[in-house]
Amino acid sequence: MTDTVSPTTPPIVRMQKLNKHFGSLHVLNDIDLEIVPGEVVVVIGASGSGKSTLIRCINGLEEFQSGTLSVDGNTLKPNGKSSKALQTIRTEVGMVFQQFNLFPHLSVIDNITLAPMKVRGWNREDAVNTAKRLLDRVGIADQADKYPSQLSGGQQQRVALARALAMEPRLMLFDEPTSALDPEMIGEVLDAMRELAKEGMTMVIVTHEMGFAREVADRVIFIHKGVIAEQGTPEQIFSAPQNEQTRSFLARVLKH
């Protein structure tokens, strides 16, 4: 992971002075953030701190009001006024959601092949082969013809991961990927994510799984009230947090 990242690599994500408001609520406040290719960044913070909003800005699911954001050389303008760049970014950035958001009317295989065929213009055979390879990789090759409602939560989330990977993204966003799962299914999803990190995928992960963060992250970012309150290696954040808010947050979540 870290050993492949040289300090001179240009960042794949660059945010400068990013501000986001929901009405009178200042959700993101002057965020500066750079992520280099191959880096695994885990974003932690209390609910409502703005961590999900932060990663949703990266693929334009949330608009921001001021500042600059560029992803892989494509620059997004404030207030969603850059549809061309946005479209390019979304084909290059994959996302896994808390609620899986699989398409319930499509079989597993069709969930995965839809975007490669319609967006990338692949023929069905290539798309199906890629989908099968990805399903095999996340350990559910035998579920290809089922519908999402026939799968367990853990299996659904692994399909969602395969669906995102089928677009061959350069960056993967994870928005609390295990928060909606029964405890016994969290491990299988984290395992698949761990594999992905090992293969060098650039990942930005919002999660409450502190053990996983500690093990997989190159960098941990703690967000408090829309501000990056502290960031550093997992060792620095979990063993020697400097910020008072970080300490009290970790004390609360690590207690159990």
Partner 1 sequence: MDFDFQFDWSAAIASIPYLLPGIPWTLLISFGGLAFGFFIGIFFGLLRISPIRWLRWVAVGYIEIFRGTPILVQVLFIFYGLPQLLGSPINALVAGIAAIAVNSGAYISEIVRGGVQSIERGQREASLSLGLSRVQAFRYVIWPQAFRRMIPPLGNQGIISIKDTSLFSVIGVGELVRQGQIYIATTFTALEVYFMVALMYLAITWTLSILLRQLERRGIAGQ
How far apart, in whole angstroms, are the C-alpha atoms of residue 122 and residue 155?
Answer: 25
* Residue 89 parent element (H or E): helix 83-92
Residue given tokens 């060098």 in the structure block: 200
Cβ at position 175, least distance to partner 1 in Å: 10
Cβ at position 195, least distance to partner 1 in Å: 21
Strand order in the sheet with 74-76: 25-35, 13-22, 66-71, 74-76
Stretch that binds partner 1, among 58-66, 71-79, 201-209, 239-247 (CB under 8 A): 58-66
Task: Tell me the β-bridge partners of 202.
Answer: 171
Please check whether residue 210 is in contact with residue 45, taking contact to mean a CB–CB distance below 8 angstroms. no
Say how many Å lie between the first and final Cα of the chain, rounded.
29
Taking the least distance from each CB to partner 1, the nearer of 64 and 97 is: 97
Cβ at position 115, least distance to partner 1 in Å: 4
Write the binding mask 169 to 198 for partner 1: x where contact by CB under 8 A, - elsewhere.
Answer: ----x-------------------------
How far apart, in whole angstroms, are the C-alpha atoms of residue 15 and residue 219?
Answer: 16
Cβ at position 91, least distance to partner 1 in Å: 4
Among 4, 16, 75, 87, binds partner 1 (CB under 8 A): 87
Among 140, 164, 201, 203, binds partner 1 (CB under 8 A): 164
Taking the least distance from each CB to partner 1, the nearer of 5 and 106 is: 106
Q: Report in angstroms the alpha-carbon separations of 69 from 14, 54, 61, 85.
A: 6, 11, 13, 11
Please check whether residue 21 is in contact with residue 77, taking contact to mean a CB–CB distance below 8 angstroms. no
Residues 6+ positions from 194 with CB-CB distance below 8 Å: 212, 215, 216
> Interaction with partner 1 in 94-153: which residues (CB under 8 A)?
94-95, 97, 99, 101-105, 114-115, 118-120
Query: Is 51 a binder of partner 1 (CB under 8 A)?
Result: no
Cβ at position 202, least distance to partner 1 in Å: 16
Alpha-helical regions (H) of 28-82: 51-58
Cβ at position 225, least distance to partner 1 in Å: 25
- Across 23-165, where does the E strand assignment appear? 25-35, 40-44, 66-71, 74-76, 93-96
* Number of residues located near partner 1, criterion CB under 8 A: 26
Among 19, 70, 82, 91, binds partner 1 (CB under 8 A): 91
133 token code pair? 């390879």
Number of neighbours of residue 52 by Cβ within 10 angstroms: 22
Query: Is 158 a binder of partner 1 (CB under 8 A)?
Result: no
Taking the least distance from each CB to partner 1, the nearer of 167 and 237 is: 167
Stretch that binds partner 1, among 88-96, 131-139, 201-209, 246-254 (CB under 8 A): 88-96
Q: Which residues bind partner 1 (CB under 8 A)?
A: 59-61, 87, 90-91, 93-95, 97, 99, 101-105, 114-115, 118-120, 160, 163-164, 167, 173
